[in-house]
Amino acid sequence: MTEREKMLAGQLYDCGDAELLTQWHKAKDLMRDYNQTNSADTEKKQTILNQLLGGAGKNLWITAPFYVDYGENIYFGNNCEVNMNCTFLDDNIIRIGHNALIAPNVQIYTAFHPTNAAERFGEPKEDGSFAFCKTQTAPVTIGNNVWIGGGAVIMPGVTIGDNVVIGAGSVVTKDIPDHVIAYGNPCRVVRKNESSLKCRIFNHSTVKKNDSPLRHLTR
C-alpha cells in the first residue's frame, strides 16, 4: 500500500511521504490564493475551490480565511456556508451534507497520533532530528441541515446526523444522532430538535427569543 492508501485506510502512515507532501504543498498554495483573493471575485474563488476540494454541490460559500491539509478529501453537498477562520484537517474524508451552516473558528479533525512519544516519532536521526510523526486517521461525516456553532471542534471518526445543531464551543468526541440539539465539552445531546428551532435552508436562521438553550449556539 502507498502511504496515501494507508492514510485513508486509517493505518499508521508517514506524513513525510513524497506523494503526500506534494499534495499538501499544492493545497497550501491554493489555500493561500483563496485567502488572498478579493472577496467580491466569486468567479476566481470558485475556480480555486474547484481545484482544492474533492467535490462540492451548488451554492457553496466559504468565507476566507479557510485552512485545510490536503483539500482533496473534503466534500460538500448543496447550499453550504462556511464562515471565516475554519480549519478542516482532511487527512481522511470529511463529508458534509446539504444545507450546512458552519460558524467561525470551527475545527474538523481527522488525524490523531500515538500517545507514546517513542511510537509517535521513533528513534532520532544521527543529527538528532526526528522524522515526521506517525499519524492515523478516521473520517468525519456531517449530515444534511446541520448547524455547527462557533468554535466547535469535531474529533476524528465522528458522525453527526441530519437536522442537528451543535452549540458553540462544543468538543464533539462521539457520534450525534439525527434531529437533536447538542452542546458541551464533551458534547452531549440536550434535547430533540423540534419545531421550536426553525431554520431557513441557506444563510440565515430564526429562533424563539425565549428558547434559553440557544444561548449556547452562535453563528
pLDDT tens column, 110-150: 999 988 887 887 777 777 677 778 899 999 999 999 999 99
Q: Could you tell me which residue, 198 or 67, shows the higher pLDDT?
A: 67
| CA distance linking residue 57 with residue 183, whole number of Å | 28
Residue 205 has pLDDT above 90, yes or no: no
What predicted TM-score, i.e. pTM, was given to this entire model?
0.87
Q: Is residue 15 a contact partner of residue 122, using CB atoms and an 8 Å limit?
A: no
Phi and psi based region of residue 3 (left: phi greater than 0; alpha: psi -120 to 50; beta: remaining): alpha
Q: Does residue 108 have a pLDDT over 70? A: yes
List the domains of the chain with CATH numbers.
3-207 (2.160.10.10)
The pLDDT > 70 percentage for the chain reads: 88
Is 204 noted as a catalytic residue in this protein? no
> Is the pLDDT assigned to residue 201 strictly greater than 90?
no
Task: Cell numbers for 111, please give them.
Answer: 488525524
Position 157 scores a pLDDT of 98
Q: What is the pLDDT of residue 35?
A: 98
pLDDT of residue 116: 86
Please pick, among 25, 98, 113, 216, the residue that the annotation labels catalytic: 113
pLDDT at 217: 53
DSSP 25: H
